Amino acid sequence: METIIILLTGFLFTCGFYLLLRRNITRLLVGILFISQAANLVILVLPGLGSGVSPIIQEGQTAPPPGYPDPLPQALILTAIVIGFGVIAFALVLLKNAYRDLGTDDLDSLKNTDV
Amino acid sequence: MEGFLIGLAAVAFGSLFWPVIAKRNSVWAGWCSAMVPLGIFLWLLTQGGAIGAGSFPKWSVEWVPQLGVTLGFRLDGVGLLLSLLVTGIGSLILIYGGGYLKGSPQAPPFFAFVHLFMLAMLGIASSDNLLLLFVFWELTSLASYLLIGLSHQESAARKAALRALLVTSAGGLALLAGILLLGAEAGTYSLVALQNSGDLIRNSSLYLAIFILVVLGAFSKSAQAPLHFWLPDAMAAPTPVSAYLHSATMVKAGVFLLAKFLPILGGTEIWHDVLTTTGAVTMLLGGLLALAQVDLKRLLAYSTMSALGTLVMLLGLGTELAIKAAMVFLVVHALYKAPLFMIAGVVDKAVGTRNITLLQGLGRPMPMLAFAAALAAFSMSGLPPFVGFIGKELLYEAQLNATSYAVFITVLGFAANAINVTVALKVGISPFRRRGTIPEINPKARKPALLTGPLLLALAGALFGLFPNLLGHGVIDMAVRDIVQRPIESHLKLWHGLNLLLVLSGVTVVVGVLLYLFQNRIRAGMHLLLERVPTASKTFDAGVQGMVSVAASVTRFFQHGNLRLYIAVVIVSLSAIITASLVSTGWSGPPQGGPMRLVPLGISLLTVFSGIAAIRSRSTVMAVLAMGGVGYGVALLFALFGAPDLALTQVLVETLTLVLFSLVMRALPPIESQTRSSGRRRITDFLIALAGGLAITATLLAVRGAPIPEAQRISTEMAARSLPEANGKNIVNVILVDFRAFDTMGEICVLAIAAIGVAGLLLGSGRRNLKAELVIATPLFRTAVSWLTPLLLFLSVFILFRGHNEPGGGFIGGLVAGSGLLLRRMGNADHPFHAPRTPLLFIGTGIAVAVLSTLPSIFLSEVFMKGVWVGALWLPLVGITKFGTPFLFDIGVYLVVIGVCLLILTRLIRSETPKSLSFP
Amino acid sequence: MFDLMNPFPLYLCLLIPLGAAIVQIFLLGQSKAQRVVAVGSTALLTAFSFALVAAVKAHGPVILDVGGWAAPVGIRLRADMLSALMVAITGVIGFCGAIHGLAEVPISDERRGYHPLYQFLLFGVCGSFLTNDLFNLYVWFEVMLLSSFVLLAQGGSKSQLEGTVKYMVLNIVASTVFLIGAGIIYASLGTLNFADIALRISQGQGSVTGIRLAGVFLMLAFAVKAGLFPLYAWLPSSYHTPRYTVSAVFAGLLTKVGVYALIRTFGSTFSAHQSFTLPILWWVALLTMVIGVLGAASQFHVRRILSFHIISQIGYMALGLALGTAGAISATIFYVIHHIVVKSNLFLAASVIDRIGGGEDLRRTGGLYRAAPWLAVLFLIPALSLGGIPPLSGFWAKLALLEAIFGVHAWFAAGIALAVGILTLFSMTKIWAEAFWKERPENAGERRPIHAAHVIPMVILTGITLLISFYPTWLFELADIASRQLLIP
């Protein structure tokens, strides 16, 4: 199963990278979202996916059910999702403003602050 | 030695103090400040006996022991000679400079930098530690830069200063490299120690490198061809500076260095060949170029270059005789060149020109100056009974006695000397002869301060000529001894008898006079020649220009401004090093994995379709839908792989992101409207993306080949300690609010920052285009909302409370509450239920609560952020819940998330006019 | 024994900026109070960061296990000498930036949350330096980055927006790469704590393939943040656009967080895999030095020149790291501290050049030498220090590095390092000659007055530079301690 998810992850990275390389600001944003999602999948899949039960200790037990997936990556991903959301929210509005003030959503025409 | 160091300190302090005085009265500053170097000069004279007897004044203290830098000073004969020159001429220059720059804004910086320079030169003369010597060495370059740039309004002066700095500090860096190599080879930076291990260095495999580097440093400083060109340009400096730095002292530093290194590096064939050849060429070239000049100072500068060539050549010959000749000539040159420079400055001040074809008749109005000029010129011409004569005799003697190429060297030396005679006549005699009307003299040029220096130095030249052993038995002997490293006995004589040397001297003068008489034709010829040859100066400028334009094109190549290419570079770099890494380690085994499950496989396929749709989409709507498809697909996968918290969060965040996206997309033009990249570009991009994707896939498969066994992971311990020690059954939540609560602290900060940032970006943007669409003020909606909002709020509290044991928690609860409040907001635009400030208060309070929740543990258990549990409560729907600071922490998260939702979304959909809104 | 006194300064170095950020949120709209808090809190931070350095010097690394969960289960904060030094310099730069901000940051920015963001930025930077946990480092990176995005865009000029877009996108990509790296580390080694990672690697746990791949991702991510060739493009696109206060703080601190992370991971944690990473870093460092300084040589705009210099000098630091010897790492740490002080100072000087000279474009500014000779001194000292003129701090930094390079007989690198030095000097004198020596040209902008708040930070930073210049031993001692602690964790 892990191999399938790895292939899916790699595919999402490919899509994300391709979108990052587009001229259009909107697609750039979608690209950013894609690679963040894919990175989250990386953290999930690498330590192994478990058998499908949740890492929650049932009533009366002291340990989670057998075959539980590693809870730590889940916590890391949760943090990463939230951080990613903050970043995306800001990026969205920044790019909106950039379009408004620079008058273009074509990344190829943003060449005024370099050499 | 302490006396010397006090002197150094006084000079250093002087560079801060005298400028202040000079601002009021520079003449006064000149006379007073001259007393300090004069004092050092006298102190140095008292040390002569001790140094002569072989007991060298020493002083040493650690400075930067880590780097082997010691404040180690040691004054030997050569150092004494240089120090005497620096302080003796220095004090006269201070007097002269004070008078010369009277009333000029250049006076204060002149005093500052000249003292800095003097300090540096004395440091060079007395350092025993090579790195310390280098410190002073670079300081002289810096002082020279600042002094040449005193007339900084003129672009020529700025350019000249830069040239001098670049050449000398490039040379300096070569020297530094040489020093470091020496240190690496011999294990010490002490000059004395190195001088005692000369054989070790000469036999080292690094000898050649050390030699080249050190010699490059010395040559650049002492203006050896082809690094000479900065020296004539340096004449842009005020004349006192030229007289001091660029004739008498700084340019001698290179020669001094070679003299110091002679026992370490000298005596080899390459030393002999390189120094002799370069010196001879420089000697001749300087002379020839001097013939082309009409400007007094440039004329003198080229003749200085010629003299420096002579010195280097003599050091190259390396015989005792040659060293003696070099040391004598060093003094001789300083004694005539410095006064001639000063005289040139006075002449310039008197009549406002330095053009030798215009100058004449100054002898009558300025007799004392003319007298001094004549003395200096005679000495320069090598006429008896001046010290210059002795110098020239010794020179010829050394050249004739050279072990190889004696004839060649002597002929070149002869030419240079003859030119010297010409230059002396042009500078010291010609301006004072009367050929027309007597010119008007600017009274500013008649100052005792301006006359003292030239006169004293010129007289000294005559005095030493008459009593040569004042010099010879004293400092020259010691200097030569400390260079050749054995005791010597020298007799300087004015009269050697009638021999070949005298004949040569005589012929030299005759030829020199002839050259003087035909000067106009020679000059015209030289000009014609120089126009056709590429000069070193032009070559250097072209080099700098070339470097700058190469730099510009390289920079444009890498910093092209195209964001897409920047990203492509990152992806390609990543793929490249992943490949390299995989090649270097090989595969660790086939990827391990659990059994295939159909539902996740199906979801994965759906996600893939969404991805393809996103790539192929030519419309905004499609792109956003595809994005949602991927996001929800991933959420489903989370749910299927036992991560309910993640799935919940992902769904909520994805929804929120989609809402944000669609709000923002209204302000952006649709994708459809944009020109596409060319087909070729799309293929290239696709290949780059594919390379990146494949590289990452390969990485993941390789890592899955050998994941660490679960038992060895830290999460195993977390799972075991979650319930007994952290009172939570939902391990993910426990990790978030307890084991790794510090991550969560950062996470809510990120949210707060994002919210503040978004609000700031949207503040006063002047756009209100979102109002009409998004306020859904239908009665039905309002009714629905009036039920829905409290329900959602209640639900959110429920989620918050159960979070520690079941899926849920502060973040998810906050999102639910936030969307409830938002709905209400959308349904009720006219009566906002909260002030604009409220979201920020939520955020601030939330973070504060989270921080405060960490405090009790500090007082109770002396640990930062440790969970403190106060008891358990039975709650409806939730069950028994234990309360403690981690829970408080989660409440903080909850509040922040509510605030963030409100702040970001209300800003985006707000309906108020910007003016009535203030942030906060 | 009350065990709290030991980690107390460490704790405060995080609590002060965080607490200040909270207070600044509540104080939004009350500009005066905010300014007092800004200066006061950074002064406090500086004081306690110095106390932290003293504590580390006296008793060795200071450790704080957050939540009482001993590492590696919990997140461990650990201030060894390197961290403590970095936090101390953060305090100083933060303080100077806060003062300069008084004279520069307009009310409109303050209303947009400038003050809390500034504190969050410092919090993120300090957090990055103090954490001993890989994923936690990611979190602080993000705190720092997001606040830097916002601060960079504040003011809203077109060039700022454009600069921020590039800065942001490239850094987001790098953060994603970082995240993947952290994921690989956890999957391969089962831990996130630096010391634990190092321990497990040295015990031979985990697959070499996985560990090395993780190193690749982390190296790339940190290389982007540090501004190494060829991944530095975001830096010259953006650093010359925002307010001077902001760019001075960024120029001093942000890339150095990347350098710090490189040192932390590849100088210490991953030292078992140096045979793969260090040669790459070596060549990258040399290229960075050269390409950066060529950029500086080709520019005519003060902050653009300075931005390219940052890159070039990051190359020096990376070279020291790539050498990998204790002496080289110690030299690198010395270099970092020297560089931060000097670089921030020069960016502040750019502000003064802009105000007095009438612009930042060297072709349209001038006359500062005559107009403000003492400012000329305040510029010249850091400028020459950057150019490596002895005996200023930059010379010692370069000398230490060169001795390390010569020590391993790396002649080629030594030659490059020396040649780059000349070009550095060349471009610094360009600023000096054009802005200070040259007369004010006709087309220069309007001259604006300067306030004490513009000058005070420059005086402080120049003072520190002089202290390091004439008495470098103390810093070398601290750097030696730091490098020893790194190599023997």
**Please, where are the H alpha helices in C131-265?**
134-153, 158-189, 194-202, 208-226, 234-238, 244-262
A positions 35-64 inside 8 Å of C (CB): 35-36, 39-40, 42-43, 46-47
Q: How far is CA B268 from the centre of its chain?
A: 37
* C184 closest CB neighbour out of A20, A35, A46: A46
Q: Do A23 and B677 touch (CB under 8 A)?
A: yes
Which residues sit opposite B869 in a β-bridge? Answer: B884
What pLDDT was estimated at residue B94? 96
- Is the confidence at residue B778, as pLDDT, over 90? no
Give the Å distances, CA to CA, from B553 to B556, B557, B559, B565.
Answer: 5, 6, 10, 17
Range in A86-100, B11-25, B392-406, B816-830 with the lowest mean pLDDT: B816-830
Q: What is the DSSP string of A22-75?
A: SSBHHHHHHHHHHHHHHHHHHHHHTT---SS--SBPPTT-SSPPTTPPPHHHHH
Q: Cβ neighbours of residue C463 under 8 Å, at least 6 residues apart?
A: none
Radius of gyration of chain C from its Cα atoms, rounded to whole angstroms: 21
Arithmetic mean of pLDDT, B558-569: 93
**Mean pLDDT over each residue of chain C, to the nearest integer:** 93
Q: Find the mean pLDDT for residues C305-332.
A: 94
Q: According to the model, what pLDDT value does residue B766 have?
A: 44
* CA pair distance B506, B537, nearest whole angstrom: 35
Measured between beta carbons, the chain C residues lying within 8 angstroms of B843 are: 25
Indicate if the pLDDT at residue B777 is higher than 70.
no
Q: What is the pLDDT of residues B628-641, one digit of tens each?
A: 999 999 999 999 99
With bands split at pLDDT 50, 70 and 90, how would you rate the model's confidence at B824? confident
Length of chain C: 489
Question: Rounded mean pLDDT of C23-42?
Answer: 94
Minimal-distance CA residue of chain C relative to B845:
C22
Cβ–Cβ under 8 Å, residues C296 and C305: yes
Residue with the bigger pLDDT between B666 and B556: it is B556
- Average pLDDT over every residue of A9-13: 95
SS3 B883: strand
Q: Which range scores top for mean pLDDT: B146-150, B780-784, B799-803?
A: B146-150
Answer yes or no: is pLDDT of C130 > 90.
yes
CB contact (8 A) between residue B573 and residue C369:
no
Average the pLDDT over C125-146 and give the result. Answer: 96
pLDDT, tens only, B389-432? 988 888 998 888 887 788 888 999 999 999 999 999 999 999 99
Q: Does C140 touch chain B (CB under 8 A)?
A: yes
For chain A, the residue count is 115
| Interval B45-70 mean pLDDT | 91
User: What is the percentage of chain B residues whose pLDDT exceeds 70?
Assistant: 93
pLDDT above 90 for C446: no
Residue in chain B closest to C73 (alpha carbons) equals: B714
Predicted local confidence at residue B7, as pLDDT: 94
φ and ψ of B880, to 5 deg: -75, 125
| Region C342-371 average pLDDT | 92
Interface test with C, best of A26, A113, A114 (most C CBs within 10 A): A113
| Three-class SS of B630-683 | HHHHHHHHHHHCCCHHHHHHHHHHHHHHHHHHHHHHCCCCCHHHCCCCCHHHHH
The pTM (predicted TM-score) of the whole model is 0.94
Contact list, C29 vs chain B (CB under 8 Å)? 918, 920
Q: Which residues of A touch B690 (CB under 8 A)?
A: 14
Which amino acid is it at C390? P
Q: Say yes or no to pLDDT of A97 above 50.
A: yes
Note the pLDDT tens digit of each residue in C17-31: 999 999 999 998 899
Half-sphere exposure of B161 (CA within 13 A, CB side): 28
Average of per-residue pLDDT values in chain B? 88
Q: Determine the average pLDDT of the residues in B336-343.
A: 95
Contact between residue B7 and residue B40 where contact means Cβ atoms under 8 Å apart: yes
Quickly count: other Cβ atoms within 10 Å of residue C418's Cβ. 21
Tell me: the pLDDT tens digits for C255-290?
A: 999 999 999 998 888 877 778 888 999 999 999 999
Q: Which of C323, C409, C400, C419 is nearest to B205 (CA)?
A: C409
Name residues whose C-beta falls within 8 Å of residue B316's C-beta, 6 or more positions apart in sequence. Answer: B271, B272, B273, B274, B275, B276, B277, B278, B279
Name chain A contacts of C162, Cβ cutoff 8 Å.
98, 102, 110, 112-113
pLDDT of residue B168: 93
Q: ipTM of this predicted complex?
A: 0.96
Is residue B52 within 8 Å of B478, Cβ to Cβ? yes
C441 touches chain B (CB under 8 A): no
Q: In whole angstroms, what is the distance from residue A85 CA to residue B707 CA?
A: 29
Other C-beta atoms within 10 Å of B185: how many? 19
Interchain contact B63–C (C-beta under 8 A): yes
Q: Which amino acid is at B905?
A: L
User: 3-class SS at B840?
Assistant: helix
- Among B738-747, B770-779, C155-164, the least confident range: B770-779
At A60-80, the pLDDT tens digits run 888 888 888 999 999 999 999
3-state secondary structure of A17: helix
Of B269-283, B532-546, C298-312, where does mean pLDDT reach its minimum? Answer: B532-546
Q: What is the pLDDT of residue B770?
A: 38
Identity of the amino acid at C101? G
pLDDT of residue C262: 95
Highest-scoring range by mean pLDDT, B430-439, B560-569, B721-730: B560-569
- Closest to B838 measured CA to CA, from B758, B912, B901, B766: B901
Give the tokens for residue B536.
């070193």
Does residue A78 sit at the B interface (CB-CB below 8 Å)? yes
Element (H, E) at B236: none
Q: Is the pLDDT of residue B157 over 80?
A: yes
Q: How far apart are CA C96 and CA C249, in angstroms?
A: 9
Q: Is the pLDDT higher at B656 or at B883?
A: B656
Q: C196-239: per-residue pLDDT in tens? A: 999 999 898 888 899 999 999 999 999 999 999 999 999 999 99
pLDDT above 90 as % of chain B = 57
CB contact under 8 A, A23 and B675: yes
As beta bridge partners, residue B528 has none
**CA–CA gap between residue B633 and residue B281 (Å, rounded):** 81
Cβ atoms C365, C444 nearer than 8 A: yes
> For the segment B467-486, what is each residue's pLDDT rounded down to a tens digit?
888 877 788 889 999 999 88
pLDDT at B876: 61
How far are the Cα atoms of B96, B197, B530, B582 from residue C449, in angstroms, in the given order? Answer: 39, 61, 51, 59
CA dihedral B389, B395, B396, B399 (to 10 degrees): 180
Tokens of B288: 């020839």
Please, which pLDDT band fits residue B535 given cuts at 50, 70 and 90? Answer: confident
- Flag whether pLDDT at C442 surpasses 50: yes
Q: How far is the C-alpha of B146 from the C-alpha of C228, rounded, in Å? A: 34
Closest chain A residue to the Cα of C73, Cα to Cα: A72
Q: Which residue in C162, C169, C299 is closest to A113 by CB distance? A: C162
Whether the per-residue pLDDT at B624 is higher than 90: the answer is no
pLDDT at B106 over 80: yes
Residue in B341, B360, B362 with CA at minimum distance from that of residue B442: B362
Sole residue written with tokens 């499950």: B597
What percentage of chain C exceeds 90 in pLDDT? Answer: 81
Measure the N-to-C terminal CA separation of chain B; round to a whole number of Å. 69
pLDDT of A79 reads 94
**Measuring CA to CA, how many Å separate B351 from each of B241, B310, B423, B449, B648?**
20, 33, 20, 18, 93
pLDDT digits (tens, 9 = 90+) for B501-516: 888 889 999 999 999 9
Q: Which two tokens stand for residue B473?
A: 């038995």
Q: Please compute, for residue C136, the number of CA atoms within 13 A of its CA located in the half-sphere on the CB side.
A: 30
- For B837, residues 6+ apart whose C-beta sits below 8 A from its C-beta are B920, C28
Is residue B500 packed enough to be buried (19+ CB in 10 Å), middle (13-18) or exposed (0-12)?
Answer: exposed
Residues of A in contact with B692 (CB under 8 A): 13-14, 17
Cα dihedral: B626, B628, B633, B635 (round 10): 160
Q: How far apart are the first and last CA of chain A?
A: 49
Look up residue C430 and give its two tokens: 């360009």
| Confidence bin at C192 (pLDDT 50/70/90) | very high
**pLDDT single digits (tens) B367-382:** 999 999 999 999 999 8
Residue C408 burial by Cβ neighbours in a 10 Å radius (0-12, 13-18, 19+): middle
Which chains, if any, share at least 3 CB pairs under 8 A with chain C?
A: A, B
Which pLDDT value is given to residue B166?
A: 94
Q: What is the CA radius of gyration of chain A?
A: 19
* Nearest by Cα to A54 from B874, B606, B648: B648
